[in-house]
């Protein structure tokens, strides 16, 4: 029960596969219970097969119930065709139809009622077992004493494991609700950011288009057109960042030589860095291979490198290194000598609302963090106010 919740719950999207795994776990539990019974005086072999049989049927449905019943019968037959087998067969023949009858009610019931149904059916199964035992072996006080102890232990165990299972299910459901609430909150934040950041360039562009209708010199109108184009480009960048965040690419991965991609990123951004009076110094090793989508990797590097350049309004140097670590990771370091950040600012990186730039949305850095996370990588940021920032990106190598 715990193994299923720990390793499989929520990971199996196909309902049939999920049911198959649960049935296999309950069946294996039955085999273990029957393989290690308690021998009493060499005459009685007591076990708690009823618990996985009962819970498996109630939680998984009638098909699993019939499957588990066949496991009990076949394994007991393998142990020998005797009175014990006959007792098992007759008990199942009488008890299983009642358990299957209550299965639908159990499925629709709330937690407390489920526990009561499970205890009642466990009581009924044990009562049927004692009845057939007395019929087949005869009534004896010793039989009653032993069966009473077994009876009470089974009832307690049924209550315990049903309650535990219900608690685990409630915790899992609560986690799903929290995740849904977090998604709704994030969508609300992104919608607010998106609306705000798109509205600004739209209003600016509209204002300059209105000015174009008025009489004036052509040179001034050309400036209006250029500003309008820049504002539309800014709106397009916001849309691209939002789309990149909403649809992270986890497919189309292939072997990528990281240093080759970093060189391409440097070539792409070189003109922008020169315009900002920033020099890029690179120290790149070869044979740094990872599994990644090259386009997404480049987008991530461009976002971080662009932030490093923009953190130095008076110009400066950005250092980029790429190497393979001894533990098999590929490490990319991007270091600048810009304005730096406080610890609180570093902790806020990746938030959609957070940006150190006046016209920034924070989406670019958020997208970069998500891309690195999708590659099963890690990001370490070390920064000091007035000294600079260093991004260290660790990606699993191949």
Q: What is the pLDDT of residues 224-259, one digit of tens each?
A: 787 778 778 767 766 776 666 655 555 578 899 999
Distance, CA of 32 to CA of 46 (rounded, Å): 13
Asked whether the beta carbons of 69 and 53 are under 8 A apart, the reply is yes
Structure token pair of residue 8: 């499989």
Listed as own residue / partner, the contacts of 275-281 with beta carbons closer than 8 Å and 24 or more positions apart are 276/309, 276/310, 276/312, 276/315, 277/314, 277/315, 277/316, 278/309, 278/312, 278/315, 278/316, 278/317, 278/318, 279/316, 279/317, 279/318, 280/305, 280/317, 280/318, 280/320, 281/317, 281/318, 281/319, 281/320
Q: If 0-12 CB within 10 Å is exposed, 13-18 middle and 19+ buried, where does residue 360 land?
A: middle
pLDDT digits (tens, 9 = 90+) for 352-385: 555 555 555 566 787 788 889 889 999 999 999 9
Listed as own residue / partner, the contacts of 228-234 with beta carbons closer than 8 Å and 24 or more positions apart are 228/204, 231/200, 231/201, 231/202, 231/204, 231/205, 232/201, 232/205, 234/201, 234/359
Residue-by-residue pLDDT tens, the chain, 398 positions: 888 888 888 777 788 888 899 999 999 999 999 999 887 766 667 889 999 999 999 999 999 999 999 999 999 888 888 888 888 899 999 999 999 999 999 988 988 999 999 999 999 998 998 888 788 777 767 667 777 888 899 999 999 999 998 998 888 888 888 888 877 777 776 676 667 667 767 777 777 777 777 776 666 777 778 777 877 876 776 677 666 665 555 557 889 999 999 998 898 888 888 888 999 999 998 889 999 988 788 878 988 998 899 899 899 999 999 999 988 899 999 999 999 998 888 888 866 555 555 555 566 787 788 889 889 999 999 999 989 999 999 999 88
């Amino acid at each position: 029960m715990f193994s299923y919740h720990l390793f499989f719950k929520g990971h199996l999207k196909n309902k049939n596969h999920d049911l198959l795994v649960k049935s296999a776990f309950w069946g294996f539990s039955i085999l273990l219970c029957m393989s290690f019974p308690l021998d009493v005086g060499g005459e009685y072999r007591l076990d708690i097969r009823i618990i996985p049989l009962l819970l498996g049927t109630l939680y998984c449905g009638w098909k699993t119930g019939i499957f588990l019943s066949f496991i009990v019968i076949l394994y007991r037959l393998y142990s020998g065709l005797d009175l014990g087998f006959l007792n098992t067969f007759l008990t199942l023949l009488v008890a299983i139809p009642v358990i299957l009858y209550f299965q639908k009610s159990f499925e629709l019931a709330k937690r407390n009622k489920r526990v009561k149904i499970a205890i009642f059916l466990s009581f009924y199964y044990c009562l049927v077992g004692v009845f057939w035992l007395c019929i087949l072996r005869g009534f004896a006080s010793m039989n009653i004493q032993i069966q009473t102890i077994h009876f009470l232990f089974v009832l307690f165990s049924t209550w315990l494991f049903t309650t535990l299972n219900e608690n685990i299910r409630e915790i899992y459901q609560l986690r799903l609700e929290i995740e849904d609430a977090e998604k709704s909150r994030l969508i609300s934040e992104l919608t607010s950011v998106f609306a705000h950041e798109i509205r600004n360039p739209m209003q600016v562009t509209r204002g300059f288009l209105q000015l174009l209708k008025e009489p004036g010199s052509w040179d001034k109108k050309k400036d209006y057109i250029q500003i309008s184009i820049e504002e539309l480009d800014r709106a397009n960048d916001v849309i691209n960042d939002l789309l990149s965040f909403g649809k992270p690419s986890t497919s189309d991965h292939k072997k990528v030589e990281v240093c080759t991609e970093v060189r391409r990123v440097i070539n792409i951004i070189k003109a922008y860095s020169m315009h900002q009076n920033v020099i890029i110094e690179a120290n790149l090793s070869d044979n740094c291979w990872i599994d990644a989508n090259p386009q997404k990797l480049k987008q991530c590097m461009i976002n971080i490198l662009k932030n490093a350049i923009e953190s130095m309004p008076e110009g400066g140097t950005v250092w980029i290194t790429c190497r393979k670590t001894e533990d098999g990771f590929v490490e990319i370091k991007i270091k600048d000598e810009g304005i730096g950040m406080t610890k609180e600012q570093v902790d806020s990186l990746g938030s959609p609302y957070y940006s150190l730039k006046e016209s920034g949305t924070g989406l670019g850095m958020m997208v970069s963090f998500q891309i690195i996370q999708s590659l099963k990588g890690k990001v370490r940021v070390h920064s000091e106010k007035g000294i600079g920032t260093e991004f260290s990106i660790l990606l699993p190598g191949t």
